[in-house]
Structure 1
Amino acid sequence: MSLKNTHEIDIVRVSSSKIDSVDFDNLTFGTTFTDHMFVCDFREGKWQKAEIKPYAPFLLDPSAKVFHYGQAIFEGMKAYKDESDDVWLFRPDQNFERFNKSAKRMAMPEVDEEIFMSGLHQLIDLEREWVKKGLGNTLYIRPFMIAIGSGVIAAPSTQYRFMIILSPAKSYYSGEVKVIIAEHYSRAANGGIGAAKAAGNYSAQFYPTKLANERGFQQIIWTDDATHTKLEEAGTMNVFFRINDTLYTAPTSERILDGVTRKSLIDLAKRDGIDVAVRPVLVEEIIEAAKDGSLKEIFGAGTAAVVNPIVGFSYQDTYYELPKIENSFALLLKEKLTKIQYKLAEDTFGWTVKI
């Protein structure tokens, strides 16, 4: 696929890079940022001149609507460097489309494709030395938009800021992951903003996740808000269940995020002959499968972690340990996906885009 790179952007470079001060072998996810950032404001009903400038804090009015009414959306993407020092994006068109779906749901202006794609291309091209070679090394990309218009009247802003910042990264999670199946709290509700990558979705799940952490669990598998009988997402990731040799995952909806990693894993599994069932997954059937031994794997899927195996889960104060298996679908699919992302395997789907 092509990557539009025709939008004119003003570029102000740093006087000296901080890259030599960064320990790329010991990165904490999302805490180190590159030298530059992309900024484009929406004012008077249209997008203004875009710019790339040194990464730095910026001032906002205390009454900016993002602080009071939560108009904020974001995306998560990655750039990869192959053995020839070329830099690649993975399915950026999907992130662009989802970003604008989120914007529409939050009553925010949609970003022009040329602004989004040219901003990505030119910023990453400028920071390409921050993308390190080797499996597991990536450049995490965070496009986001906030309401910057002032005033505490409960109404959508008329001014917005679209930005892209970059963070070198290694793996997101480490160690074994145990989860609790939610019985009371919900991540999202019918008619709500669960399918949007809105900031409020994530802040709302911090408290129940904190309660799970206090009990020795790393994450929560969320259930539907109405009955708490349907399994939907794991933490901030989509979730898959393997019963015997079939993968099950819930369909996307206004409660469940349309994950780029999720849909890519489904396509890879189908291509390679793994049975995939996209349908509602019930808590009771997973409990029964755990009891009779047919539940082989549970794993989360998302941009940051790619694939995150889950070793066990708790429901109604009973803990179920998953078996350790050699032919793990989670690890197999992760390997196939990452090889495409790092250009170590043929991209038969046309998912990768060269910077």
Structure 2
Amino acid sequence: MASTIDIQTTTKKKQKPLQHELGFGIHFTDHMFIMDYSEGKGWYDPRIVPYQPIVLDPAAKVFHYGQTIFEGLKAFKTEEGKVLLFRPDRNIQRLNRSNERLGVPHIDEDLALEALKKVIAVDQDWIPTEPGTSLYVRPFVIATQPALGVDASTHYQFIIIMSPVGNYYTEGVNPVKIFVENEYVRAVKGGIGEAKTAGNYAASLKAQEIAKEKGYSQVLWLDGVHRKYIEEVGSMNVFFKINGTVYTPKLNGSILDGITRSSIIQLLRHWDIPVEESTMSIEDLYNDAKSGALEEAFGTGTAAVISPIGELNWRGEQLTIADGKTGEVSSKLYDTLTGIQRGTKPDPFGWMVEVTL
């Protein structure tokens, strides 16, 4: 495998958007990373090129069989001008776990990290600095072999694109409203629920559309077998503080192993706040709320970081959590984690990785 990344910079720079008008995933930087794979040759020709369309044959397998995986992470610029990445090694490791599940060849993790750092360094002036903003980095793999046989592709591309972003939810860090899905199923153990692949998200879109029509930001998924156990929100893992203990659904083969999720668990234990990974039923959660035991709820993910949950709707029954306000633990977690990410708070865990410019 080649270890040198070729860099081809553009002289035609885009006009950057105003930081308070970024939105999420709408604008894209001047450059991208690409690396190719072919059976018998392996991964080759790693390069940074001007941001451009991808040209694919209409028979490319990604279009027909959905053989694709992706990741999401963020780059931050400190007040001193340092560029930091949050736990990028974990994203690369998870990318390869998703690759394994989808039959995609393993990517050298050292090379992937080098590619991340170099493409960010090339477009470092795209990193926004206003509160709540960051540079969202999207690595992904697509199957490019032009063939309609139902088997794994023999050709792939590994690509990294980047987007300056604001808050994922328009609510910002204010509580969001979540609709509990009863009709549709997203994933089951043994399927692809724990892989970060397009099919997982395609399975969620219809339910999310219905939820938005009802005035809800996202969908909370229940398990696909019993339709009663809490799993995750479409873009977040979920946590519930009940009688002083924080609970989150345990990983069961159909829930994404969130990097923010694991970081939150580590932070809570660092603060000596009890936290348990367990099987949780939606009925028990509603009973805890009615008894006053449910104190707060929040979602975690790369895009939103921490998103307080102010309301759930299950079978038409609305459940207001913490009077619809941001809870104390949610607020502390958000302030601490974003502070670590931006270099304004101590990083006792060694999570942040500096990009050499």
Give the aligned partner of residue 258 of structure 2.
259
Gaps of 5+ in 1: 1-5
Distance 2:130 2:203 in 1: 35
Match for residue 80 of structure 2 among 59, 80, 84: 84
Q: Is 1:24–2:19 an aligned residue pair?
A: yes
Offset, 1:327: 5.2
* Greater Cα offset, 97-106 or 317-326: 317-326
Is the CA contact 1:82–1:134 (under 8 Å) kept in the aligned structure 2?
A: no
Give the aligned partner of residue 203 of structure 2.
204
Is the CA contact 1:135–1:342 (under 8 Å) kept in the aligned structure 2?
A: no
Give the aligned partner of residue 305 of structure 1.
304
Q: Is 1:352–2:352 an aligned residue pair?
A: yes
Q: Name the amino acid aligned to 1:76.
A: G
Q: Could you give the per-residue CA deviations for residues 78-98 of structure 1, whole angstroms, max 9, x where no partner exists?
A: 001111000000101100100
Offset, 1:132: 2.4
Distance 2:297 2:46 in 1: 43
Q: How many residues align?
A: 349
Give the aligned partner of residue 343 of structure 1.
343
Offset, 1:135: 3.0
Q: Is 1:281–2:280 an aligned residue pair?
A: yes
Is the CA contact 2:247–2:277 (under 8 Å) kept in the aligned structure 1?
A: yes
Identity across the alignment (%): 42
Q: TM-score, normalised by structure 2?
A: 0.95
Offset, 1:162: 0.1
Is the CA contact 1:222–1:232 (under 8 Å) kept in the aligned structure 2?
A: yes
Is the CA contact 1:81–1:134 (under 8 Å) kept in the aligned structure 2?
A: no
Give the aligned partner of residue 329 of structure 1.
329
Q: Name the amino acid aligned to 1:346.
A: P
SS at match of 1:281: coil
Is the CA contact 2:38–2:156 (under 8 Å) kept in the aligned structure 1?
A: yes
Match for residue 50 of structure 1 among 46, 54, 59: 46
Instruction: Trace 1:64-83 onto structure 2 (pairs within 5 A).
Output: 64-83=60-79
Match for residue 148 of structure 2 among 152, 156, 159: 152
Distance 1:187 1:262 in 2: 20
SS at match of 1:201: helix
Instruction: Trace 1:81-160 onto structure 2 (pairs within 5 A).
Output: 81-160=77-156
SS at match of 1:49: strand
Distance 1:11 1:182 in 2: 46
Is the CA contact 2:16–2:126 (under 8 Å) kept in the aligned structure 1?
A: no
Q: Name the amino acid aligned to 1:317.
A: G
Distance 2:49 2:240 in 1: 44
Q: Name the amino acid aligned to 1:231.
A: I
SS at match of 1:187: coil
Is the CA contact 1:42–1:159 (under 8 Å) kept in the aligned structure 2?
A: yes
Gaps of 5+ in 2: none
Q: TM-score, normalised by structure 1?
A: 0.95
SS at match of 1:48: strand
Q: After the TM superposition, which segments of 4 or more aligned residues of structure 1 sit over 3 Å from their partners?
A: 324-327
Give the aligned partner of residue 233 of structure 1.
232
Is the CA contact 1:223–1:232 (under 8 Å) kept in the aligned structure 2?
A: yes
Distance 1:341 1:28 in 2: 20
Distance 1:52 1:264 in 2: 31
* Greater Cα offset, 324-333 or 163-172: 324-333
CA RMSD of aligned residues (A): 1.4
* Greater Cα offset, 322-331 or 288-297: 322-331
